[in-house]
């Protein structure tokens, strides 16, 4: 079953909107029953039988906005059919369908007419494509010039930082190592590096980036849980320590009175109670000695 494109914009065109429902049905019938170059055999009886209505064919033809032409042989031709359905129509094409369309056009004596109508749109399209290609090349050239004219500061950023072997076969830049220590603390970072080193040595494995291998799986294996959770815990501890340090600094400078936390207060109360019980026990013991 052949499949064909349909123009969804036709519903906005006045000539199509003013057609009667039966005439619209005729239009759809012709566009679907014509051959592959838009020629319909003009079988009016079959069309009326299929649609289920009598059609004034002369009136319909006048109301189609000159989109249909009656050929000398009596067949009807949708003038813009090829331009709409076959945008790749070219005499140089080796496509079997396109070759068959050209043969059909020649059979209907429409080949020269259709190709002449297609030349202008194709030339215009080709010209537009060439202009866009030229614009892209010019843009690329401008980008190349911008890269050449980068200031020294920008050029330095693109220089690769040397890597250090932190464990056998594990290479990181100093910056990468410091980031890992900051995010996951030194102990976990070193353990992860050791795990990665053992794996690479035992499996003779190579990575483009040991840093990303650590982030991908080695840190998770060393911590026993997802690295993002570890990173969040480390960040929280760091924030808590910094907050506590600020409080202690204020206490030392006399800007803030020290207030005991519930845990500290509980511990102090217990200590006082224990000492009180001990002293009370000693007093009772002394009294009993005097009583004797």
Query: Average pLDDT over the chain, rounded to whole?
Result: 81
Asked whether residue 68 is domain-assigned, the answer is yes
DSSP, residue by residue, 29-82: HHHHHS-TTSEE---HHHHHHHHTS---HHHHHHTTTT-EEE-TTS-EEETTHH
Element of type H or E holding 284: helix 262-291
Q: How many domains does the chain have?
A: 3
pLDDT of residue 191: 92
Asked whether residue 151 is domain-assigned, the answer is no
Report the pLDDT averaged over residues 223-240. 86
Which DSSP state fits 8? G
Element of type H or E holding 94: none
Beta bridge partners of 171: 165
> Does one domain contain both 98 and 185?
no
- Contact predicate 62/28, CB 8 Å: no
Report the pLDDT averaged over residues 118-126. 55
The bridge status of strand 76-78 relative to strand 39-40 is antiparallel
Asked whether residue 149 is domain-assigned, the answer is no
Tens of pLDDT, residues 47-96: 999 999 999 999 999 999 999 999 999 999 999 998 888 888 888 888 89
> Does one domain contain both 109 and 39?
yes
Asked whether residue 137 is domain-assigned, the answer is no
Asked whether residue 1 is domain-assigned, the answer is no
> Does one domain contain both 242 and 283?
no
- Contact predicate 82/69, CB 8 Å: no
Range with the lowest mean pLDDT among 74-78, 119-123, 199-203, 222-226? Answer: 119-123
> Does one domain contain both 43 and 104?
yes
Asked whether residue 140 is domain-assigned, the answer is no
pLDDT of residue 148: 46
Asked whether residue 128 is domain-assigned, the answer is no
pLDDT of residue 19: 95
Beta bridge partners of 137: none
Number of helical H runs and strand E runs in the chain: 14, 5
Which DSSP state fits 9? G
DSSP, residue by residue, 171-219: EEEHHHHHHHHHHH-HHHHHHHHHHHHHHHHHHT---S-HHHHIIIIIH
pLDDT of residue 107: 93
Range of the domain at 74: 8-123
Tens of pLDDT, residues 241-290: 887 787 777 777 766 555 656 666 677 666 666 655 655 555 554 444 44
> Does one domain contain both 238 and 266?
no
> Does one domain contain both 244 and 269?
no
pLDDT band at 127 (very low <50, low <70, confident <90, very high): low
CA 146 from centroid of its chain's CA atoms: 28
Q: Give the Cα separation of 193 and 205 in Å (integer).
A: 14
What proportion of the chain, given as a percentage, has pLDDT over 70?
73
pLDDT of residue 42: 93
Query: If we measure between CA atoms, which residue out of 101, 103, 73 comes closest to residue 85?
Result: 101
pTM exceeding the 0.85 threshold for the entire prediction: no
Tens of pLDDT, residues 128-180: 555 666 776 776 566 555 544 445 454 455 567 899 999 999 999 999 999 99
- Contact predicate 48/35, CB 8 Å: no
Q: Of 266 and 45, which is predicted with more confidence? A: 45
Q: Of 205 and 123, which is predicted with more confidence? A: 205
Which DSSP state fits 255? S
């Amino acid at each position: 079953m052949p499949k064909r494109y349909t123009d969804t914009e036709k519903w906005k065109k006045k000539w199509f909107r003013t057609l009667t429902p039966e005439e619209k049905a005729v239009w759809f019938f012709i566009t679907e029953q014509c051959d592959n170059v838009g020629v319909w055999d003009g079988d009016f009886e079959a069309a009326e039988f299929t649609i289920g209505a009598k059609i004034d064919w002369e009136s319909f033809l006048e109301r189609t906005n000159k989109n249909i032409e009656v050929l000398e042989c009596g067949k009807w031709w949708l003038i813009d059919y090829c331009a709409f359905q076959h945008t790749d129509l070219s005499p140089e094409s080796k496509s079997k369908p396109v070759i068959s369309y050209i043969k059909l056009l020649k059979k209907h004596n429409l080949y020269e007419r259709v190709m002449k109508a297609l030349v202008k749109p194709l030339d215009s399209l080709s010209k537009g494509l060439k202009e866009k290609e030229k614009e892209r090349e010019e843009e690329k050239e401008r980008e190349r010039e911008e890269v050449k004219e980068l200031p020294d500061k920008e050029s330095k950023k693109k220089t690769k930082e040397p890597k250090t072997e932190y464990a056998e076969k594990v290479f990181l830049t100093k910056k990468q190592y410091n980031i890992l220590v900051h995010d996951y603390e030194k102990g976990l970072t070193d353990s992860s590096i050791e795990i990665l080193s053992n794996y690479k040595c035992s499996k003779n494995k190579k990575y483009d980036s040991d840093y990303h291998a650590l982030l991908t799986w080695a840190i998770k294996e060393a911590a026993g849980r997802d690295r993002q959770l570890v990173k969040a815990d480390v960040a929280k501890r760091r924030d808590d320590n910094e907050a506590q340090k600020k409080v202690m600094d204020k206490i030392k400078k006399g800007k803030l009175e020290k207030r005991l936390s519930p845990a500290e207060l509980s511990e102090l109360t217990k200590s006082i109670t224990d000492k009180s019980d001990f002293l009370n026990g000693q007093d009772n013991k002394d009294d009993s000695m005097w009583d004797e």
